[in-house]
Structure 1
Amino acid sequence: MSLKPSVSATDHTQGNLTADLVIVEYGDYQCPYCGAAYPVLKELMKEFGSQVKFVFRNFPLSEMHQYARIAAIAAEAANLQGKFWEMHDAIYENQRDLNENLLMRLAQELKLNMPQFEKDLESTKLAEKVDSDFESGVLSGVNGTPSFFVNGNKFNGGAEDLIGLLRENTV
Structure 2
Amino acid sequence: MSTLRIPVGSNDHVQGNLETAKIVLVEYGDYQCPYCGHAYPLVKRFVEEYGDEVAFVFRNFPLTDSHQYAMAAATIAEAAGKQGKFWEMHDLIYENQNHLNEEMLKESVKSLGLDFNKIENDINTADLQDKIENDFEGGVRSGVNGTPSFFVNNQKWEDYDGTYDSFVELIS
Matched residue type, 1:166: L
Query: Partner residue of 1:163?
Result: 167
The Cα of 1:109 is off from its aligned counterpart by 0.4
The Cα of 1:16 is off from its aligned counterpart by 2.6
Bigger shift: 7-16 or 133-142?
A: 7-16
Q: How does 1:9-48 map to 2 (within 5 A)?
A: 9-18=10-19, 19-48=21-50
Give the TM-score of the pair, scaled to structure 2. Answer: 0.94
Structure 1 segments (4+ residues) deviating >4 Å: none
Q: Deviations over 1:7-50 (max 9, x none)?
A: 11111100233213211000000000000000111110111111
Q: How does 1:1-171 map to 2 (within 5 A)?
A: 1-18=2-19, 19-158=21-160, 160=163, 162-167=166-171, 169=172
Distance in 1, Cα, partners of 2:151 & 2:167 = 13
Distance in 1, Cα, partners of 2:78 & 2:168 = 31
**Percent identity between the two aligned chains:** 54
Secondary structure of 1:50's partner?
helix
Matched residue type, 2:112: L
Q: Which runs of 5+ in 2 are unaligned?
A: none
Distance in 1, Cα, partners of 2:71 & 2:65 = 10
Q: Which runs of 5+ in 1 are unaligned?
A: none
Distance in 2, Cα, partners of 1:108 & 1:14 = 24
Instruction: Work out the number of aligned pairs and report it.
Output: 168
RMSD of aligned alpha carbons: 1.2
- Are 2:26 and 2:150, in contact at CA under 8 Å, matched by a contact in 1? yes
Give the TM-score of the pair, scaled to structure 1. Answer: 0.94
